[in-house]
Amino acid sequence: MNPRHFQDLRHAKRLRKIVTALSRHPTASVPLASQTSSEAQSIYRFWSNPTVSSEAILNSHSEGTVARARGCETVLSIQDSTDFDFTSHPQTTGLGYLNQTQQQGIKVHNCFAVSGAGEPLGLLHQHTWVREVPPVKQKDRSAQERHQHKPIEEKESYRWLTTLTAAEAKVSEQVQLVQVADREADIFELFAQPRQVNSELLIRVKTNRSIKQAWGKLFIALSQAPVLGELQVEVRRTPQREARIARVHLRGLHVTLAVPEYLARQKPSLQPIELNALWVEEIGVPADGGKPICWKLLTTLPLESYAQACQYVRWYSYRWLIERFHFTLKSGCTLENLQLQHRDRLLKALATYSIVAWRLMSMTYQARLTPEASCDAILQPEEWRLLRRKFAPKSRAKTPPTMHQAMLWIAQLGGFLARKSDGQPGLKTLWRGYTKLHYMLEGARLVTKT
């Protein structure tokens, strides 16, 4: 955390202590995560301090994200939005509508950096806003049409364009920066936006856009494109489906997107855009009877070989990591339980917990990507020694255990059974285990003092 982002050097030091304390007990409330009541009060005072801003907290973190990005050949800049619902805390001021009901909260758009190998690097940018009026109802066609014909600068979707610019401003042109996003980013103006050197797009599309090629429509043309080959894709578990390995067909095609008619009237200078398109379609029906995956992707990256197509599909599959980041903030850090009474304090807490959430994810994925590396990169000596004392009390080894072994022990503290059929432990299990480890550590320290 670079102190230059704060008016007072002590604020940077305080933030470092707060992140450390909250990381030790990620699922606990602030009073429980703090060792003393005075420490809890210092956290609340930090978030209430008018000279500390959420931007300063985030900038101190994103500077580290950029430093980690410099060591990568490719950085995936993954964008996605989420809602934080504080309806159950009616005393909180400064909130806005989340949807067409009376739910109140804050809307957040994050840009999360991931290496080309799938390692979480941290946040590059965070944009927050509130809606003063409920959004247009889906049944109100006339209102939807009026909204569609507004300039992009007057729409909430403009955040996709400004976030791209913010990410480009931070990451060196020497690093390939690939913007990855789901169907909500299927915006013609985003494809048309000028980009810096080495900045690319990889977007899943929802609109069957008009194209200049034969067939006239994107989806029909893609369905008729030749099969480049097959690929196995890891499909992550969601509340609606189990995790599985899907076998997919890859089809590729070079296309020229036509300018939508309403945009051509608004901005006559807009020109058709040349892109590469990928059709990723699961072969057969999943064993659980679920819906087969079918991704239609548009990219500015070159598509000249089957190997390139496979690489882009893998990169898109890492988009799931920003969903894990949001899940960690909500379920792991229980951000929506905070009762800070004002939006500004909540935004500072959100920025702080964003650092905590990245730390938890980084610890987990480092263990998966480099399982044989030493765990001293993510655990303190007293942490891994206590783990070894509990799970391997007869061991006389003086060197730290591997990342894989340490994470397995932490997961077992969180309730993981570690059977051969159990696969990899999940983030939630590791949160519980990491919290329990620090309770054990605090107990050991007390015993030593007596």
- Three-state secondary structure string covering 24-88: HCCCCCHHHHCCCHHHHHHHHHHHHCCCCCHHHHHHHHHHHHHHHHCCCCEEEEEEEEEEEECCC
> What pLDDT is stored for residue 332 in this prediction?
84
Looking at the structure, do residues 175 and 79 belong to the same domain, yes or no?
yes
389-425 pLDDT per residue, tens:
999 999 989 899 999 999 999 999 999 888 877 777 8
Q: How confident is the model at residue 78 (pLDDT cuts 50, 70, 90)?
A: very high
Residue 337's identity, in one-letter code, is N
| Inter-CA distances, 252 with 124, 308, 352, Å | 31, 10, 42
Arithmetic mean of pLDDT, 334-361:
94
Mean of the per-residue pLDDT values of the chain: 90
Residue 394 and residue 294 share a domain = no
Q: Are residues 396 and 280 in the same domain?
A: no
Of all residues in the chain, the percent with pLDDT exceeding 70 is: 96
pLDDT at residue number 143: 64
Q: Please tell me whether residues 216 and 270 are part of one structural domain.
A: yes
**CA atoms 8, 130, 200, 361: torsion sign:** positive
Residue 112: closest CA among 81, 148, 72: 81
Distance CA 179, CA 160 (A): 10
Looking at the 3D structure of the chain, how many domains does it have? 2
∠ at Cα 56 (333, 3), nearest 5°? 105
Flag whether pLDDT at 204 surpasses 90: yes
Asked whether residue 291 falls in the same domain as residue 392, the answer is: no
Judge whether 56 lies within some domain.
no
| Neighbouring-strand partners of residue 217 | 210
**pLDDT value at 427 more than 90:** no
Residue 352 lies in a domain: no
Among 259, 292, 327, the domain-final residue is 327
Residue whose structure tokens are 């989340």: 98
| Amino acid, single-letter form, for residue 218 | L
Q: Are residues 217 and 303 in the same domain?
A: yes
Name the token pair of 124.
């590059």
pTM for this entry: 0.90
Give the residue numbers spanning the domain of 412.
370-449
Q: What is the DSSP letter of 395?
A: -
Q: Give the number of other CB atoms < 10 A from CB of residue 106.
A: 24
Within this chain, do residues 150 and 279 fall inside the same structural domain, yes or no?
A: yes
Residues in a beta bridge with 75: 115, 177
Per-residue pLDDT for 4 more than 80? no
CATH code, domain with 118: 3.90.350.10
In a domain, 21, yes or no: no
Q: Give the mean pLDDT of 113-136.
A: 92
- Answer yes or no: do 305 and 405 share one domain: no
For 101-105, 145-149, 203-207, 428-432, which range has the lowest pLDDT when averaged over its residues?
145-149
Residue 344 token pair: 């500004």
Q: Which tokens in the block code for residue 13?
A: 């030091």
On whether residue 444 sits in a domain, the answer given is yes
Choosing from 327, 362, 397, the residue where a domain stops is 327
Where does a domain end: 297, 327, 357? 327
Give the Cβ contact number of residue 69 at 10 Å.
24
* 170 within 8 A of 66, measured Cβ to Cβ: yes
Confidence of residue 27 (pLDDT cuts 50, 70, 90): confident
> How far is Cα 205 from Cα 63, in angstroms, rounded to an integer?
31
Tokens representing residue 286 in the block: 């999943």
Does a structural domain hold residue 43?
no
> Hey, is 150 helix, strand or coil?
coil
**1 closest CA partner among 65, 51, 44:** 65
* Closest CA relative to residue 120, chosen from 327, 411, 413: 327
Indicate the SS3 state at residue 67: helix
Q: Inform me whether the pLDDT recorded for 127 exceeds 70.
A: yes
Residue 338 in domain: no
Give the side-chain half-sphere CA count within 13 A for 342.
8
Cα-trace Rg, the chain: 24
Q: Residues 247, 322: one domain?
A: yes
Co-location of 129 and 235 in the same domain: yes
Q: CA 279, CA 297: separation in Å to the nearest integer?
A: 7
Asked whether residue 355 carries a pLDDT value surpassing 90, the answer given is yes
Q: Which of 343-347, 366-370, 371-375 shows the lowest mean pLDDT across its residues?
A: 366-370
Q: How confident is the model at residue 363 (pLDDT cuts 50, 70, 90)?
A: confident
Residue at 250 is within a domain = yes
Over 70: is that where the pLDDT of 196 sits?
A: yes
Q: Provide the pairing of β-strand 199-204 with 176-181.
A: parallel
Lowest mean pLDDT among 89-98, 115-124, 228-237: 228-237
User: Alpha carbon of 261 to those of 192, 264, 266, 389: distances in Å?
Assistant: 15, 5, 9, 69
Buried b (16+ CB within 10 A) or exposed e, 47-65: beeeebbbebbbbbbbebb
Residue-level pLDDT at 33? 86
pLDDT of amino acid 407: 92
Give the CATH number of the domain where residue 404 resides. Answer: 1.10.740.10
Q: What percent of the chain has pLDDT over 90?
A: 66
CB-CB contact of 282 with 292 (8 Å):
yes
Q: What angle do CA 153, 157, 163 make, to 5 degrees?
A: 85
What's the angle, vertex CA 45, arms to CA 62 and CA 123, rounded to 5? 15
Q: Please indicate, yes or no, whether residues 302 and 414 belong to a single structural domain of this protein.
A: no
What three-state secondary structure class fits 264?
Answer: helix
Please tell me which residue, 60 or 378, carries the higher pLDDT value: 60
- 279 and 379 co-located in one domain: no
- List, in sequence order, every residue forming a beta bridge with 210; answer none if it has no partner: 217
Instruction: Kindly tell me if the per-residue pLDDT of 298 is higher than 80.
Output: yes
Q: What is the mean pLDDT of residues 45-55?
A: 95
Answer whether residue 27 is part of any domain.
Answer: no
**18-22, 47-51, 181-185, 193-197 — which is least confidently predicted?**
18-22
The residues with which 245 forms a beta bridge, in sequence order, are: 234
What's the number of CA atoms in the CB half-sphere (13 Å) around residue 417? 5
